[in-house]
Amino acid sequence: MKLLALALLVTSMTTQAVEVKKENYVTFGGWSYHSEDTEKEKYPFNQNHNGIGYERYWQEEGKDYSFGTGFWYMTDSYHMKAYHLALNYRYHVTPRITANLALTYMNRGERTKKTLFTSTGRDLTEYKVSRTNMVALVPYISINVVDDLNFDLMWMPNFDDEVSVTFARLSYKF
């Protein structure tokens, strides 16, 4: 019995309460630029996404990183409704800049390309947009603009076979 009391005493002396800071964000907007191969057929990409989302982060006191989760809804580049769920890692580079990495599940549109080779030497390329599910690792930077307003900037080099995308949105901490 004395041994159990001693073990409890030692454990209580070495156990420290860990303070965890929680942050909530509403994300909104969504604007994109699609860089296309100029020799390929142009696609009328949507570049104003009208997105809305929510993110929550947890950060241990004294740590320069945090973990979070989030949900994002928007009209995607192919004019389809898109739903994103993410697990986020965020590293605080400075008090105003964070580097983020989001493991993201997406239910969204996808453009596929099919090239038909003809005997006339004129190849025909067909594009088709359909709904798909995908998982992607998305790196991005968040810059604190003023007070609780942030600007998020993402770049996806292989958005589809011929296009890279630069994407921006705003987030507000509440």
**pTM of the predicted model, to two decimals?**
0.78
Domain membership of residue 4 (yes or no) is no
CATH number for position 58:
2.40.160.20
- Report which residue type is found at 89: Y
Average confidence score pLDDT of the chain: 87
d(CA 120, CA 114): 18
Digit-coded pLDDT (tens) for 58-114: 999 999 999 999 999 999 999 999 999 999 999 999 999 999 999 999 999 988 877
For residue 66, give its domain range: 21-37+45-105+133-173
Domain membership of residue 118 (yes or no) is no
Q: Are 37 and 166 in contact (CB under 8 A)?
A: no
Count of domains for the chain: 1
Q: What is the mean pLDDT of residues 16-36?
A: 90
Domain membership of residue 100 (yes or no) is yes
Digit-coded pLDDT (tens) for 141-174: 999 999 999 999 998 876 666 678 899 999 999 9
Strand boundaries in 117-174, DSSP class E = 124-146, 149-160, 163-173
